Amino acid sequence: MLQQEIIHSTIQRDEWMLEVERVAHKLKVNKNNLDGKEWRAHMDQTKKYHEQVRGSLPEVRGKLERLSEDVTKALEKIAKKEGVLTRSFQGMTGDYRAHSDKLKDIQGNFQKMSKNVQDLEGELMDVNDRLTKIQGKIDDTGKSFSDNSPL
């Protein structure tokens, strides 16, 4: 049962007035029903809709219950099919997991080897640079020894 008591607002008057000013331009006054009886029309319309809903409720409830039963049956069928598929592909999922683990191991090894190759390439570049410098010094020294020009 509805409680019939006064509802007290918790909004401050100043806040309310600011909100009214903010939305006042959006509010419309229906000038056709200024006689003060539009609330009666709304009440009558509400009662009419209430009666329509009350009248169609048993039929709609029956349809909704049948729909609920159909959905439940469909969900049960889906669950059974999922079970069959799970059982039939269970071996394949194990194989997939095993292959997936092997792939992860291989990828880890690949990353380690790639890093090792990069480190070795860097070391090779350093050795080549030193070799080039030493060859340059040897060539310069050899030229100075074989220089036949007069002193």
Helix H, strand E, coil C: the string for 79-113 is HHHHHHHHHHCHHHHHHHHHHHHHHHHHHHHHHHH
CB of 53 closer than 8 Å to CB of 60: no
pLDDT score of 90: 78
Predicted TM-score of the model (pTM):
0.36
pLDDT score of 122: 94
pLDDT score of 2: 59
CB of 38 closer than 8 Å to CB of 30: yes
pLDDT score of 130: 95
pLDDT in tens, the chain (151 residues): 456 777 778 888 999 899 988 888 887 766 665 566 788 888 899 999 999 999 999 999 999 999 999 999 999 999 999 999 888 887 777 777 788 889 999 999 999 999 999 999 999 999 999 999 999 998 888 777 776 666 6
